[in-house]
Amino acid sequence: MTGENHTDMPTWPQEFREHYANEGFWRDETFAGTIDRLATEYDEKTALIDGDHRLTYAELQQRIHALAAGLSALGLSRGDKAVVQMPNRSAFVEIVFALMRLGVVPVLALPAHRHLEIGRFLEFTEASAFFVADRAGGFDYRGLARELKPNLPSLAHVVVDGDAEEFLSLSSLYRHGETVPDAPQPDDVAVFQISGGTTGVPKLIPRRHNEYLYNIRTAASVSGMGAVTVYLCALPVAHNFPLACPGIIGTLMNGGTVVMAPDPGADTAFALMDAHKVTISGVVPPLALLWMEEAEKRRYRPRSLQVLQVGGAKMSAEPARHVKPKLGCTLQQVFGMAEGLICFTRLDAPEEVIVNTQGRPMSPGDEIRVVDADGNDVAPGETGELLTRGPYTIRGYYRVPEHNARAFTADGFYRTGDIVRLAYGGNVVVSGRDKDQINRGGEKIAPEEVENLLLAHDDIHDAAVVGLPDPVLGERICAFVISRSGQTKTLALNRHLRGRGLASFKMPDDFVFVPSFPETGIGKISKKELREKLKALHLEQISISK
Ligand code: OOB
């Protein structure tokens, strides 16, 4: 990317670059060239289905070119950043590919993000454009843009898909018949993914053309994708999993068809599966549970579905065993991270591997280590923290040098914070986590971020946010709070957090008001220890009262 330096974004040392190129992982390509190649190869085949709207590969390419021309006329160019916050619509694909063609880097925000997160992304990246839908899921994104824009001098354009009101309408930007040259270089950042984060603020993950294309191609191959693939995009499309592991781009790179689901509920998903003969989808465990339960209740079988990928959070062995009998398809467990490494159970793996493990790394170039608290490798089969390095795992986040120094080892391994062991011939079994993060049904929450907001409330003396076990979500968010007056209630705190503009999935599911936090012996303990203690006490109390 233009103007990039190593402190901004640490990247692979030269010897690794040469190795990854020599191995054929990196092929000196960009997404701009990819979309042209696909249009030539798959021409009249259906690329995208979004409600009644269908696009062939040729049409998709023309629309991407026309939009890129319009965005270029606005002045957007290589190295600029744009925050994209779109629901599952075909416009998402057009916007992201048009930006990538110009070398403008989309920051892939989620529809659930609110002004706190979006404001930070826009400010931190000095984004020159913000792309939103008019309304989606009952929320008016124009209101969000209106609130944020006056304080962001670099934000020149707000582009709205739908009724734009005072902003630029997306549909007015297409300059049909015009093309612009593709601008990016293979080593440029293609997109910024957003990390779940373990500290106060989400981090930006630079994914580059070369390595992200390798990521997608490899994931598609391990998932058995081909021209007959029909992928149902049920999760929010901006997530790395439905976007690129192999997700919608993996499908397009193989000449398959992407079906956009406006919501992931069983009514919508089952109807789309039948209407378009969906062959594969990717979901988080709570959604897999919901689909299984609904299929059983309705005595329904998605007849065309061959593979259900489940990832983002651990699926335990018991529900995993039921996927095939209830949905009639092969389960593929996916243990991945937006920072890079993706593990898959292979489609032809024995049942015990599919049910009991989260799969093995997808690339022969992936290096993994399982280490103890001192950073030494544990004995084979023992449990420890997973470290990883490889041809599509980043070497650093965007502009957070101090955090990078902790999150990566000196020799470039990413510390995942996941506690795992290797079993069944090198497959990873995830058994826990050693990082300050809550995984609520696949969405990641940094407790510190929520705690800091609670502490900003006048009446809150202290707060500790903890993940408690939940039968459906895996974990739910519980905030332990000490109110100075004893008067503050749940309703007020919910209102306070919403008022600060916190994404809905980060809102605590429960508040527990306590007079003080547990005594901890000598000295001040860390927030992390306090959270562990509160969690243990709470679970103990619940089991006693049962
Ligand atoms: C995916 O990416 P992120 O960046 O939202 O979250 C990564 C973290 C992992 O470090 C791990 O803690 C957890 O999510 N995780 C799993 C898991 N898949 C992800 N924990 C247990 N079992 C699994 N199967 O979540 C993501 C990215 C690409 C593909 C799939 C998921």
Q: Mind listing the pLDDT tens digit for each residue in 13-27?
A: 999 999 999 999 999
Q: How confident is the model at residue 359 (pLDDT cuts 50, 70, 90)?
A: very high
Candidate from 337, 343, 385 with most ligand 1 atoms within 8 A of CB, to mutate: 337
Task: State the residue for tokens 């009724």.
Answer: 163
> Could you tell me which residues come within 8 angstroms of residue 354 by beta carbon, excluding any fewer than 6 positions away?
320, 330, 331, 332, 333, 345
Q: How far is CA 342 from the centre of its chain?
A: 12
Neighbours of 167 (CB within 10 A): 19
Is the ipTM, as predicted for this complex, more than 0.90? yes
- Do residues 60 and 93 lie in contact, with contact meaning Cβ atoms separated by under 8 Å? yes
- Do residues 459 and 481 lie in contact, with contact meaning Cβ atoms separated by under 8 Å? no
Mean pLDDT, the chain, integer: 95
Residue 518 is given by DSSP the state P
Ligand 1 neighbours (beta carbon < 6 A): 196, 240-241, 245, 311-314, 333-338, 342, 358, 416, 418, 430, 433, 439, 442, 444
Measured CA distances, 94 to 41, 71, 275, 434 (Å): 19, 12, 24, 39
Per-residue pLDDT tens digits for 105-162: 999 999 999 999 999 999 999 999 999 999 999 999 999 999 999 999 999 999 999 9
Is residue 200 predicted with pLDDT exceeding 80?
Answer: no
Q: How many helical (H) and strand (E) elements, i.e. helices and strands, does the chain have?
A: 17, 27
Is residue 30 predicted with pLDDT exceeding 70?
Answer: yes
The pairing of strands 139-140 and 135-136 is antiparallel
Per-residue pLDDT tens digits for 220-251: 999 999 999 999 999 999 999 999 999 999 99
Q: How confident is the model at residue 477 (pLDDT cuts 50, 70, 90)?
A: very high
Is residue 520 predicted with pLDDT exceeding 80?
Answer: no
Neighbours of 298 (CB within 10 A): 11
Please report, rounded to a whole number, the percentage of residues in the chain having pLDDT higher than 90: 92
Per-residue pLDDT tens digits for 401-427: 999 999 999 999 999 999 999 999 999
Neighbours of 297 (CB within 10 A): 9
DSSP calls for 112-131: T--HHHHHHHHHHTT-SEEE
Per-residue pLDDT tens digits for 35-52: 999 999 999 999 999 999
pLDDT given for residue 311 in this prediction: 98
3-state secondary structure (DSSP) of residue 161: strand
Neighbours of 347 (CB within 10 A): 14
pLDDT given for residue 522 in this prediction: 63
Nearest to 89 by CA among 282, 326, 259: 259
Q: Whose CA is nearest to atom 24 of ligand 1?
A: 335
3-state secondary structure (DSSP) of residue 22: helix
Q: How confident is the model at residue 521 (pLDDT cuts 50, 70, 90)?
A: low
Average pLDDT rounded to a whole number, residues 343-369: 98
Q: Check residues 5 and 169 and name the one with the higher pLDDT.
A: 169
Q: How confident is the model at residue 523 (pLDDT cuts 50, 70, 90)?
A: low
Measure 335 CA to ligand 1 centroid, in angstroms. 5
Per-residue pLDDT tens digits for 151-179: 999 999 999 999 999 999 999 999 999 98
Is residue 340 predicted with pLDDT exceeding 90?
Answer: yes
Per-residue pLDDT tens digits for 253-269: 999 999 999 999 999 99
Q: Whose CA is nearest to atom 25 of ligand 1?
A: 312
> Could you tell me which residues come within 8 angstroms of residue 83 by beta carbon, excluding any fewer than 6 positions away?
106, 107, 109, 118, 121, 122, 125, 127, 129, 130, 131
pLDDT given for residue 499 in this prediction: 97
pLDDT given for residue 8 in this prediction: 82
H, E, C per residue of 180-247: CCCCCCCCCEEEEEECCCCCCCCCEEEEEHHHHHHHHHHHHHHCCCCCCCEEEECCCCCCHHHHHCCH
Q: Is 216 left (phi over 0), alpha (psi -120 to 50) or beta?
A: alpha
- Do residues 368 and 341 lie in contact, with contact meaning Cβ atoms separated by under 8 Å? yes
Rounded distance, CA 180 to CA 330, Å?
Answer: 43
Is residue 5 predicted with pLDDT exceeding 80?
Answer: no
Measure 241 CA to ligand 1 centroid, in angstroms. 9
Q: Which atom of ligand 1 has the smallest separation from the CA of 333?
A: 24
In whole angstroms, how large is the CA radius of gyration of the chain? 23
pLDDT given for residue 261 in this prediction: 98
Please report, rounded to a whole number, the percentage of residues in the chain having pLDDT higher than 70: 98
Rounded distance, CA 477 to CA 440, Å?
Answer: 7
Task: State the residue for tokens 């290797």.
Answer: 422
Q: Whose CA is nearest to atom 2 of ligand 1?
A: 337
Neighbours of 511 (CB within 10 A): 21
Q: How confident is the model at residue 3 (pLDDT cuts 50, 70, 90)?
A: low
Q: Which atom of ligand 1 has the smallest separation from the CA of 435?
A: 12
